[in-house]
Amino acid sequence: MSVTDPHSTATPMPGMASGDSGIADVAESRPLRKDVVKRFVRNPLAMLGLGFIVLLVVVAIFADVIAPYGFKESTEPRVSRAGPGTDHWFGTDTVGYDVFSRVVYGARVSLKIGIVATSLILVLGVLFGAAAGFFGGWIDSFLMRITDIFLAIPYIILAISIATVFGRSENAIIIVLGLTGWLPLARIVRSSFLGLKQLEYVEAATSLGFSRKRIMFGHMLPNALQPVIVYGTVSIGSVILSEAALSFLGVGPQNPTPAWGLMVAEAGAGSLASASHMLFFPAFAIFLTVLSFVFVGDGLRDALDPKLK
């Protein structure tokens, strides 16, 4: 009878691991979101843009504390078109309003228009694009022909026509920009859904009897969010820029709303030569805000791209 030595070590069978043997060769997996955040943080321009956006949000929230005057409060004594100085850092406008105060309050208006209008753009673009890409057939043709018709109409003419119906308030501008900005996103989402519809997990979900709503928004949409997130981030800056363009054409918010675009339009109407500060400061605020959102959008695009991992 043979006796087995209790101190002897048995040779592990092929394919089996003993203790930690072989485990060190396997890299520990990390959640995808951690990789995305890490790549985003390493992008200096994206972090710079995010920092300015956070600063802008803080300014918008605490505008009542930061601004020395109300946005429709004339300075005392009333001094119109005064240049920048110790009393008025950004000078005054034609009515005697403090330009610095109106730029600070304008952050609220621009962020409201940019965020709410972009939310409307995302909802309409995702719904139309997802329906067209998922169902295909006559539904796809019908929705895309509607999109083509609106894309064929010049943007400015379409925006002015809608603004004529809804008026020139902040909410009207949000509706105008929301109803005219979803068209490119619908095509992007449609393209993503057309590709995803051919994948095996969608066919498996269909064979298991899942509802179309669950397959579209529970399985396919999460895998199509990368271009949507990037488009939404960049769209906020584009909406703010579009509001400025509409205000310059006379169909944006009306006084005394402290909209940056309206301030630029008023400065360009006849005060540019004698009071250039009225144009420079709101225009520079628009420039920095749009550029910051573009930087963040580019950073998100790079961070979400698995090829750049």
**The pLDDT value given to residue 7:** 47
Q: Which of 235, 262, 108 is nearest to 178 (CA)?
A: 235
Predicted pLDDT at 8:
47
Q: For 162-193, how does the pLDDT look when each residue is reduced to its tens digit (9 = 90+)?
A: 777 777 778 888 888 888 888 889 999 998 88
Give the pLDDT score at 269. Answer: 63
Computed over every residue of the chain, the mean pLDDT equals 79
Q: Which domains does the chain have, with CATH numbers?
A: 32-74+90-308 (1.10.3720.10)
| Whether pLDDT at 15 is above 90 | no
pLDDT at 123: 93
Per-residue model confidence (pLDDT) at position 309:
55
Q: 27 falls in which pLDDT band (50, 70, 90)?
A: very low
pLDDT confidence band for 306 (50 / 70 / 90): low
How much is the pLDDT for 41?
Answer: 85
Which of the two residues, 307 and 152, has the higher pLDDT score?
152
Question: What confidence category does residue 4 fall into, taking pLDDT thresholds of 50, 70 and 90?
Answer: very low
Helices 183-196 & 137-152 angle (0-180, nearest 10): 150
Judged by average pLDDT, the poorest of 14-18, 66-70, 180-184 is: 14-18
The larger pLDDT score, comparing residue 272 to residue 88, is at 88
What are 92's strand-pairing partners? 98
- What backbone phi and psi angles, to 5 degrees, belong to 154? -55, 135
Angle formed at CA 59 by CA 58 and CA 64, multiple of 5 degrees: 115
* Range with the largest mean pLDDT of 17-26, 29-38, 51-60, 205-214: 51-60
Q: Tens digits of per-residue pLDDT, 115-146?
A: 999 999 999 999 999 998 888 888 989 999 98
Which string of b and e fits 227-248 if b means at least 16 CB within 10 Å?
ebebbbbbbbbbbbbbbbbbbb
| CA-closest candidate to residue 267, choices 67, 99, 53 | 99
pLDDT for the residue numbered 212: 79
- Per-residue model confidence (pLDDT) at position 236: 87
**pLDDT above 90 for 80:** no
State pTM to two decimals.
Answer: 0.78
Which pLDDT belongs to residue 76? 60
**Closest to 175 (Cα-Cα) out of 104, 246, 263:** 246
pLDDT value of position 299: 86
What is the per-residue pLDDT across 230-283, written as a single tens digit (0 to 9) for each?
A: 888 888 888 888 888 887 777 777 777 788 888 887 776 666 666 777 788 888
